């Protein structure tokens, strides 16, 4: 169990935030949307300079926590790059990253990032990505997979957990932007933040955000090399996290859009970008209902590991 990341991981996350801001901040996503095939050129350098690909999250706990902090910082700036997917890469083979996909219509946000990807299903069946469809919104493409399958060499759990850290970073940012907005925006002669209905909506969002944060730490620990949990248990924990992450994103983005008002839908505000680029993380490889069904099928009648599980 970890209740907080190590100070070193936190510091690494702060360094990454500053580095992404220096590299262009919010403009990176806007540039990438215009030219998806330039994504590697846009952010590959800053990620390399941070030592992102030197991390070995499957091998040691320090790397694991640093990887989580990096994903969160990437989410904060909606960095247009599949950082979590690359950090989840298997420990063997020449693959550059791991994409957890659904059994049907496998898809992932990899448009323009031409690397050797491995796709894996929840059941642990691994296949090579041999082609991608035309781009859909959010840099998503349908994947063409090799016909031969293999047993995935590593746990699937990390491939579900790290993208949730990216989503957490997005929620951090969306809420911070909204708090800033309601403090500045005046209506009826006073800032929106003075209205209790506005204050209470903020608390709804924060309870969800902080709940996601604590579950993300737990699932990270569970998926890591030093937890001692089984692969099956780590996958339960990852699915539990994913379920909570999608629920939290729904609440947080609903509140943030509502409190931003019409300007929140305009591309002059960062919220508009965050909101739509959160979609792949929330819908792939499976959305809320499917995630809950998958978790229920796994733990039905048994429960999650905890104080009183059967």
Interface residues with other proteins (CB under 8 A)? 1, 3-4, 176, 179-180, 182-183, 193, 196, 199-200, 202-203, 206-207, 210-211, 214-215, 217-218, 240, 243-244, 289, 292-293, 295-296, 299-304, 306-310
In the complex, least distance from residue 6 CB atom to other proteins, rounded to whole angstroms: 14
In the DSSP assignment, the letter for residue 100 is E
Judged by beta carbon, residue 98 or residue 205, the one nearer other proteins is 205
- Write the CA distances from 198 to 172, 210, 212, 258, integer angstroms: 18, 18, 22, 9
Give the integer Cα–Cα distance in Å for 245 and 248. Answer: 5
Q: What are phi and psi of 132, to 5 degrees?
A: -135, 155
**Strand pairing of 107-108 and 117-120?**
unpaired
Judged by beta carbon, residue 194 or residue 276, the one nearer other proteins is 194
Q: What are phi and psi of 230, to 5 degrees?
A: -75, 165
| H or E, element range at 146 | none
Instruction: State the sign of the Cα–Cα–Cα–Cα dihedral 123, 128, 130, 132.
Output: positive
Judged by beta carbon, residue 134 or residue 309, the one nearer other proteins is 309
In the complex, least distance from residue 114 CB atom to other proteins, rounded to whole angstroms: 37
Judged by beta carbon, residue 28 or residue 219, the one nearer other proteins is 219
Retrieve residue 33's tokens: 């949307």
Judged by beta carbon, residue 51 or residue 303, the one nearer other proteins is 303
In the complex, least distance from residue 23 CB atom to other proteins, rounded to whole angstroms: 25
Retrieve residue 104's tokens: 């049907």
Which of 235, 241, 216 shows the shortest CA–CA distance to 297? Answer: 235
In the DSSP assignment, the letter for residue 192 is G
Q: Decide: 259 and 182 in contact? Cβ < 8 Å.
A: yes
Judged by beta carbon, residue 185 or residue 292, the one nearer other proteins is 292
In the complex, least distance from residue 74 CB atom to other proteins, rounded to whole angstroms: 22
Judged by beta carbon, residue 132 or residue 270, the one nearer other proteins is 270
Catalogue the long-range contacts made by 142-150 (C-beta closer than 8 Å, 24 or more residues apart).
142/105, 142/106, 142/107, 143/99, 143/101, 143/106, 143/107, 143/108, 143/110, 143/117, 143/119, 145/106, 145/119, 149/125, 150/125, 150/126
Q: Decide: 64 and 225 in contact? Cβ < 8 Å.
A: yes
Judged by beta carbon, residue 140 or residue 164, the one nearer other proteins is 164
């Amino acid at each position: 169990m970890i209740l907080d990341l190590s100070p070193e991981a936190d510091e690494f996350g702060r360094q990454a935030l500053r580095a992404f801001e220096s590299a262009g901040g919010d403009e990176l996503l806007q540039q990438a949307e215009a030219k998806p095939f330039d994504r590697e050129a846009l952010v590959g350098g800053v990620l390399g300079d941070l030592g992102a690909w030197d991390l070995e999250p499957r091998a040691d706990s320090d790397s694991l926590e640093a990887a989580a902090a990096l994903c969160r910082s990437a989410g904060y700036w909606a960095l247009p790059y599949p950082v979590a997917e690359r950090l989840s890469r298997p420990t063997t083979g020449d693959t550059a990253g791991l994409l957890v996909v659904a059994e049907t219509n496998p898809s992932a946000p990899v448009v323009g990032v031409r690397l050797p990807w491995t796709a894996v299903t929840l059941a642990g069946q691994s296949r090579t990505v041999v082609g991608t469809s035309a781009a859909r919104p959010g840099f998503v493409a349908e994947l063409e997979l090799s016909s031969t399958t293999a047993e995935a060499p590593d746990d699937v759990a990390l491939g579900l957990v790290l993208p949730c850290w990216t989503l957490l970073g997005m929620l951090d940012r969306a809420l911070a932007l909204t708090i800033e907005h309601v403090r500045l925006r005046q209506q009826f002669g006073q800032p929106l933040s003075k209205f209790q209905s506005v204050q209470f909506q903020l608390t709804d969002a924060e309870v969800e955000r902080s709940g996601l944060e604590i579950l993300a730490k737990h699932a990270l620990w569970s998926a890591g090399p030093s937890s001692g949990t089984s692969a099956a248990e780590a996958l339960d924990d990852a699915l539990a996290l994913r379920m909570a992450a999608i629920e939290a994103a729904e609440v947080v983005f609903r509140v943030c859009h509502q409190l931003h008002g019409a300007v929140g839908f305009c591309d002059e505000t960062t919220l508009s970008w965050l909101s739509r680029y959160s979609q792949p993380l929330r819908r792939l490889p499976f959305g809320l209902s499917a995630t809950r069904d998958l978790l229920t099928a796994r733990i039905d009648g048994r429960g999650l590991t905890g104080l009183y599980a059967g």
